[in-house]
Amino acid sequence: MTELHRLSATGLRAMLRDRAISAEELMRATLDRIAAVNPGLNAIVGMEDPERLIAQARAADNAGDQGPLHGLPIAVKDLVNVKGLRSTFGSPALANFVPEADDLIAARMRAAGAILIGKTNTPEWGLGSHTFNPVYGATRNPYDTSRTAGGSSGGAAVALATGMIPLADGSDMMGSLRNPAGWCNVYGFRPSWGWVPADPVGEMFLHQLATLGPMARNPTDLGLLLDVISGRDPRQPHGGEGAPVGAIEPMDLTGLRLGWLGDWGGAFPCEDGVLATCESALATFAEMGAVVEPLAAPFDADAMWRSWVELRAWAVAGKLGPLMDQGWPMKDSAEWEIATGRALSAMDVNAASLIRSDWFRAAVQAFETYDALLLPTAQVWPFDVTLSYPADVAGHAADTYHRWMQVVVPASLLGLPTLAVPAGFGENGLPMGLQIIGPRLSDKRLLQIGAAWHEATRWPDRRPPQR
């Protein structure tokens, strides 16, 4: 039999349904895999007691099929509260916090039959797109353990790439599903904003930048988890427009029109090899029948960046500022976001949102010509794991801690659905990804495009060394 850690979530579900394997057998294989691989990577943290997990798996076998994720072991991102599991957000203030209830996404996965085995590592408060924190330390890239795995869903991406889990959740404000997927040779999907509801806590009307979403080793599995975690929550004032995507089948890409944005006319400097690797991927799209055309920058990058920095800081300050005031420790990037957000006036925020609105109108025009827009998932290769963030981007001094991620802003600012697909490997042997950005509510179509891409390329089959 093929090793279980190499199988897809969809394939494992079929085997569980047919009783070709038991949930207990899968759980034991999962725990063995984590024990063998995780110590050198630090992707899965806050594990449940193994004997309790085996007991849960045995109970799942006795209960019969409980839903679309029945019997699948899943570790949940450590920005999500999971009942009974240490949930830290990477902060020493929460180092020993054990929630008494699941957040919405964890509750939906559990109700669908998943067995929640632990947490996946994340940066402190999810900021920085490099997974390290003072509670658990750094997560390492499985293709080169001296380098970062990205973030904030870095632990999830590494756990997937190495077969520790078959499926993972993540979240994405500034590329947190896309950047680690690209750097770990897996798939990450940022849904249309509102497709997956957040927990109905705190302010629920103003901030439309961050979203939850799925990660997997193929787009079919993305669709499996997306349908579990999506759907209207009547306690939320926004969202719920998306219909279930159902089984994801590859679509015929003949005649599909794709606009390649590259480095946005030079506004997004990229390290050597990043664009070349992505452009090789474009050739594969052309071989599949798609029409790929270079597209001039459709909007002013500086204006977009100004809008993003202010709206993001405003959101972060609203969420973390009160905690800092209570004396909770904050890393320097969080302090910077809070100070920046608090310095804004109401009219500053209005001006930033006007820029966002102008960009939305320009994007609508671009989608009248193109079915999807393409960009790299990052402007740099995975960097030294001991750094907090790159001091420069392709020779350009970084004026903020997140300037190297500017390439993910066009989709994030508008809440557009974006699929990060593996684009191959550079001459340095490191993975890079490609963002496929669609118009709002084109989520299923993007996953169908991704399924065709996966069928043609099979990049995640190129496993990390000795893993």
Domains of the chain: 4-461 (3.90.1300.10)
- CA within 13 Å, CB half, 186: 39
Residues 2 and 313: their CA atoms lie apart, in Å, by 47
**Residue carrying the six token digits 């979240």:** 171
Q: β-strand 257-260 against 372-376: which pairing, if any? A: parallel
What b/e readout covers 226-235, taking b as 16+ CB neighbours within 10 angstroms? Answer: bbbbbbebee
> Position 243: which residue type?
A
**Cβ atoms of residues 234 and 272 within 8 Å:** no
Residues 366 and 294: their CA atoms lie apart, in Å, by 12
φ/ψ (deg, to 5) at 102: -80, 145
Residues 64 and 83: their CA atoms lie apart, in Å, by 23
**Residue carrying the six token digits 């924190």:** 133
Provide CB contacts within 8 A for 161, sequence distance 6+. Answer: 142, 143, 184, 185, 186, 217, 460, 463, 464, 467
**Cβ atoms of residues 259 and 370 within 8 Å:** yes
Query: In which residue ranges of the chain is pLDDT below 50?
Result: 1
> What pLDDT sits at residue 2?
65
φ/ψ (deg, to 5) at 258: -120, 130
**Cβ atoms of residues 282 and 292 within 8 Å:** yes
Residues 153 and 129: their CA atoms lie apart, in Å, by 8
**Residue carrying the six token digits 């890079």:** 432
Give the N- to C-terminal CA distance of the chain in Å, as an integer. 18
Give me the residues paired with residue 148 across strands.
140
Q: Give the active site residues.
A: 77, 152, 176
User: Is residue 201 helix, strand or coil?
Assistant: coil
User: Which has the closest alpha carbon to 132: 377, 323, 389?
Assistant: 389
CA distances from 461 to 71, 161, 192, 221, 455 (A): 24, 9, 28, 15, 11
Residues 190 and 196: their CA atoms lie apart, in Å, by 10
Residue 48: DSSP 8-state: P
